[in-house]
Chains A and B, each alone.
Chain A
């Protein structure tokens, strides 16, 4: 299918993937006093039913020429049931959303993944199926991993299907057209119910590498673009760590073993792990061509859910980005308590570059940027080779678990160009999709749904002109214009520079969004719909030179950029 008609973006929406636009419930949960800053609890409201496809009124701006296709986003969308609810954010039912853009118009549809877990829980009238932070309750039926598969972390394309991914079971296939569930995909009969992480590493040529982890063992999946298994091999890990993501270069797989280590097995599964900082972090590098060829590095302790794509230089030096936290407290505490509406402030993860010297070349090292960051993404066309930019969510603060901004980090200069939507917005992970015909790194658009809510008598289109209303406030849907959750904030990247950026930051300091369309227009250039952010050099953003350097494995400029990171400290 032509790129113009299908943006094969796929979103790893692990943590911010679950904005369920259940407006009425959300509004009921929210305090009117949250007007200046969107109550983060909105991001965890239940969606009780699928959303039929509905047009998203274009409030302002225009779709850029060449952008057409669907942005698929999967994440937990249903958490509470009368007889008992999830004990952790990560245990909500997988909800697949499709934002479809064509001819300058857009539509939104959302459908829950029809998992065995969801069927069991619905029948029980309670969340009875155990999970990451949820115990097994009477009525649970778990004969294998896929009986507990929530299919709620991310989505990848495979052989004309969407695969909704969990991390401890099989992919579950979804029809990309109507989002109906097609069933569990057993990749090979003898490998039924094996774990398959939610953050596979596709290569530019279409092959996909992934891991599945159980204790101190992993299965290394290598799939063709159609989802068929090329190889699946077992390997030992140096520690029985919790592994949610990994990195890869063109030649190597990089498995980061953090000191949140499984020392027994119990349910909820998260209770099986202990934080043992004295173990430090071990980084296992596996040669893709021969998994028996491996080397292990030591690093000081940290915890991370997500890593960026890696690359390898001519001398064998490996670099990759990660979003590092001091410990596993989000997984063990806040991820649970926020289901009860309680958030204990903790530092946001920070963007860092990890460097692994070639064998015998010295110790591994971490260079921390000082930029708050989660969901690192990059231009997938350059996966495995030297990349200059990392895109990530930012603006997480002590006020809640979610993010308020996006940023592009330049590893060459150490500069971070961030755009803060302000506390009135909960911003999801951004994904990059290339501009047709564009070849430079990040020549294309970022797409990132976001949620906001503007209380008061104004309609959504008046109070939040930058937003596309959700289907609920779309024509034919129950009217909810005054307490609307609007998804699809749109900012052109040029808002990241010069006047617009300053304007928005000023608004953030004031703790409010513009009150009128005119005010928005004064602050910003015309919007593009649905977070369609042009990041093309041709967009004349004025941010900086985006000269791409890739294709060979050397990136001497990065050396300087890396060194300058310590001084950059955007904070």
Chain B
């Protein structure tokens, strides 16, 4: 009894593996105005200290659905149980993070032959997958001017 639909599996895999391979830490321009925000995205609970966490920061529902450019992307080399990405100069607003842990370092999200992810993945705001990625409403969180931190359990 496959628990995920093929369409949703494909969507999930696509979303999580989107164009992250080889991407370097990409931060928004430095803060130049007092009303911009800094966001620290902390990934905790990493069990296997290999590979990298690959993440996308979406600044809109369209970006979250891969229909618009992302606000930021990062490849975070994993050497312990925790890694952090920092994004500066973000306009305040709602954001969402989707990420996977590329445990084997092959630059893509592992899937089994039936399309089910085999490497850990996670979303912001504590949102959990239910037969596919969580909705924008579930995964998005408010970023305000100044310092912000979003902590995500990924493994």
Contacts and interface: CB of A to CB of B under 8 A. Distances in A.
Q: How large is the interface on B (under 10, 10 to 19, 20 to 34, 35 or more residues)?
A: 20 to 34
Given A190-B112, A191-B112, A192-B112, A144 B117 contact: yes
B112 A130 contact: no
A-side interface mostly: loop
Interface in A190-221: 190-195, 214-215, 217, 219
Contacts of A267: 131
A189 interface: yes
Interface string B1-39: 111111110000000000000000000000000000000
Contact of B3 (A144, A190, A192, A217): A144
A192 B116 contact: yes
Contacts of B2: 145, 168, 195, 214-215, 265, 269
B147 interface: no
B3 A168 contact: yes
A147 interface: yes
A130 B131 contact: yes
A130 B3 contact: yes
B87 interface: no
Nearest to B111: A190
B107 interface: no
Interface residues of A, number: 32
A234 B152 CA distance: 36
A308 B70 CA distance: 55
Nearest to B120: A143
Contact of A148 (B3, B114, B128): B3
B129 interface: yes
A195 B3 CA distance: 10
B6 A265 contact: yes
B1 A215 contact: no
B1 A194 contact: no
B110 interface: yes
A167 B131 contact: no
A134 to B, nearest CB: 11
A142 B129 contact: yes
B121 interface: yes
A131 interface: yes
B114 to A, nearest CB: 5
Nearest to B133: A143
B118 interface: yes
Contacts of A265: 2, 5-8
Interface in B125-140: 128-131
Nearest to A232: B113
Interface in A125-156: 130-132, 136, 140-145, 147-148
Contacts of A136: 130-131
B3 A269 contact: yes
Interface string B68-98: 0000000000000000000000000000000
Contacts of B118: 144, 189-190, 192-193
A73 B5 CA distance: 31
A142 B112 contact: no
Contacts of B114: 194-195, 214, 217, 219
A142 B3 CA distance: 8
A136 B131 CA distance: 9
A193 B131 contact: no
Nearest to B113: A234
A322 interface: no
A169 interface: yes
A266 interface: yes
B108 to A, nearest CB: 13
Nearest to A212: B114
A147 B3 contact: yes
Nearest to B132: A142
Interface in A144-199: 144-145, 147-148, 166-169, 189-195
Contacts of A169: 3
A167 B3 CA distance: 11
Contact of A191 (B5, B113, B117): B113
Contact of B129 (A143, A167, A189, A269): A143
Contacts of A142: 3-4, 128-131
Given A141-B130, A217-B113, 8 more contacts: A131-B1, A136-B130, A142-B130, A145-B1, A194-B116, A214-B2, A215-B6, A269-B3
15 contacts: A141-B128, A141-B129, A142-B131, A143-B128, A144-B117, A147-B3, A148-B3, A190-B118, A191-B112, A193-B117, A217-B114, A265-B2, A265-B6, A266-B5, A267-B131
9 smallest A-B Cβ distances: which pairs?
A: A265-B5, A168-B1, A143-B129, A141-B128, A192-B118, A145-B3, A148-B3, A214-B114, A193-B116
